[in-house]
Amino acid sequence: MKIALKFKHSVLVLSLFFVATLSAQTNSKFKVVLDAGHGAHDIGATYHGFVEKNINLAIVLKLGKILEADPSVQVIYTRNDDTFVDLVERANIANRADANFFVSIHCNANKNTEPYGSETFVMGLSKSASSLAIAKKENAVITLEDNYKSKYAGYDPNSPESLISATLAQEEYLDQSIELASRIQDGLENKLNRKSRGVAQAPFMVLHKAFMPRVLIETGFISNKDEGAYLNSEEGQQNMAKTIADAIFRMKVEHFGGTMPVIDIKKYEKPIVKDSTPKIKEQTQVKDTSKEIKKTIELKPDAKTVDPNKVIFKVQLKASKTKIESKPESFNGLDKISFVLEKEYYKYMFGETNDYEVSKKQLAEARTKGFDSAFIVTFKNGIKISLNEALKK
Ligand SMILES: [Zn+2]
């Protein structure tokens, strides 16, 4: 009797355990928080009859639909209709959900109606006046919120730089934020055939308050008639959504496993007019350099000068759950392949240098060899550190 009871008890414990495991599995979805900028009385920018808040929402809803088609993905919306949500609340929605990524969608605008192109921001310092101006404009929304002065304790919307000291503690998310941002811009430029203004850092309040890899996409300028019309069109929104979804899925597959869905991105037919846009910003610290460096591939690294005591830059080509032989044939002819094993993934890297500029050239070389989503990784004493940390050293 005693034995039978014990047995019954352990069956109960065991089945409880299974229930717990099962619910843990259903909760272990890959969570993406989509944030449609502005809403309700905060309309965002408006030009030529195009209204930013509506375009942001339309892109977000289309993007969410594509992501949700994958049952392993859970999408959480900061707003899915025309309502007003505080900036800090948008970030808190993502924090409470313990999201894997936070993606905020906006449209850019400029008094000069010529500039066009998309730009993706990650949180951080900006050396560029115009990046700061964009952050300032997007942050100014808080002045429409109730009690914003107490809620944002001393933050001055006119000097977004004041967010920086508080944000340095969050550097751990910067690598993946930059990687996601680079993939988005890469997709918008190379898959969708739209003009890319690259990746930049700027102090956005909504990014500052969210604790996970996070980006803010300025999908294009609605002040530019052509681009505004594209962003305002069903087709344009669908293609922006597809391209951003493609980048998010690539990050998911790379870092969290799973398979890549097929996303058919329809190339924008009008060719991009290269360099015709007036420059409204200087180079920023982490601008995606893929465009510039594609032109200068001839540089080969000087491997023998690598100092193991200094920061080492390598180019990550791909990650794989199974081991790949580190020979040139397996890597489209690239040699000097090394790898690290991280969380069940073999991460394969090309090149090794103490010089960031050389590494950028190696990145360009990797991309010309077909590794479109390659990126730079940095090590100090054999330990991976963030690119930002490395550049400070
Ligand atoms: Zn905006």
Taking the domains of the chain in order of start, what are their residue ranges?
27-256, 290-392
What is the whole-number distance in angstroms between the Cα of residue 47 and the centre of ligand 1?
13
What is the whole-number distance in angstroms between the Cα of residue 206 and the centre of ligand 1?
11
**What is the model's pLDDT at position 343?**
60
What is the whole-number distance in angstroms between the Cα of residue 95 and the centre of ligand 1?
21
What is the whole-number distance in angstroms between the Cα of residue 114 and the centre of ligand 1?
18
What is the whole-number distance in angstroms between the Cα of residue 304 and the centre of ligand 1?
48
What is the whole-number distance in angstroms between the Cα of residue 36 and the centre of ligand 1?
9
What is the whole-number distance in angstroms between the Cα of residue 112 and the centre of ligand 1?
17
What is the whole-number distance in angstroms between the Cα of residue 159 and the centre of ligand 1?
17
Q: Which helix (H) or strand (E) holds 338?
A: strand 337-342
- The amino acid present at 185, given as its one-letter code, is Q
CATH of 27-256, one of 3.30.565.10, 3.40.190.10, 3.40.630.40, 1.10.10.10: 3.40.630.40
Query: What are the CA-CA distances from residue 137 to residues 38, 106, 204, 280 (Å)?
Result: 11, 11, 9, 15
What is the whole-number distance in angstroms between the Cα of residue 117 and the centre of ligand 1?
15
What is the whole-number distance in angstroms between the Cα of residue 45 and the centre of ligand 1?
7
Written as six digits, the tokens of 198 are: 């690259």
User: What 3-state class would DSSP assign to 300?
Assistant: coil
What is the whole-number distance in angstroms between the Cα of residue 364 and the centre of ligand 1?
32
**2-20 burial code (b ≥16 CB/10 A, e <16):** eeeeeeeeeeeeeeeeeee
C-beta separation of 90 from 99 below 8 A: no
What is the whole-number distance in angstroms between the Cα of residue 283 and the centre of ligand 1?
22
Q: Which residues pair with 51 in a beta bridge?
A: 46
What is the whole-number distance in angstroms between the Cα of residue 122 and the centre of ligand 1?
15
What is the whole-number distance in angstroms between the Cα of residue 391 and the centre of ligand 1?
30
What is the whole-number distance in angstroms between the Cα of residue 52 and the centre of ligand 1?
7
**What is the model's pLDDT at position 301?**
37
What is the whole-number distance in angstroms between the Cα of residue 216 and the centre of ligand 1?
9
What is the whole-number distance in angstroms between the Cα of residue 297 and the centre of ligand 1?
37
What is the whole-number distance in angstroms between the Cα of residue 172 and the centre of ligand 1?
26
**What is the model's pLDDT at position 205?**
87
What is the whole-number distance in angstroms between the Cα of residue 44 and the centre of ligand 1?
5
What is the whole-number distance in angstroms between the Cα of residue 138 and the centre of ligand 1?
5
CATH of 290-392, one of 3.90.550.10, 3.40.50.300, 3.40.190.10, 3.30.70.1070: 3.30.70.1070
Residues of the chain short of pLDDT 50, as ranges, are: 1-8, 14, 17-26, 167-169, 273-303
What is the whole-number distance in angstroms between the Cα of residue 315 and the centre of ligand 1?
33
- The amino acid present at 66, given as its one-letter code, is I
What is the whole-number distance in angstroms between the Cα of residue 115 and the centre of ligand 1?
16
- Does this model's pTM top 0.85? My answer is no
Nearest to 362 by CA among 304, 289, 307: 289
What is the whole-number distance in angstroms between the Cα of residue 185 and the centre of ligand 1?
18
What is the whole-number distance in angstroms between the Cα of residue 242 and the centre of ligand 1?
20
CB-proximal residues (5 Å) to ion ligand 1: 37, 44, 106, 138
Rounded-to-integer distance, Cα 103 and Cα 53, Å? 15
DSSP string, 31-93: EEEEEE--BTTB---EETTEEHHHHHHHHHHHHHHHHHTSTTEEEEES-SSS----HHHHHHH
What is the whole-number distance in angstroms between the Cα of residue 375 and the centre of ligand 1?
28
Written as six digits, the tokens of 176 are: 């993946």
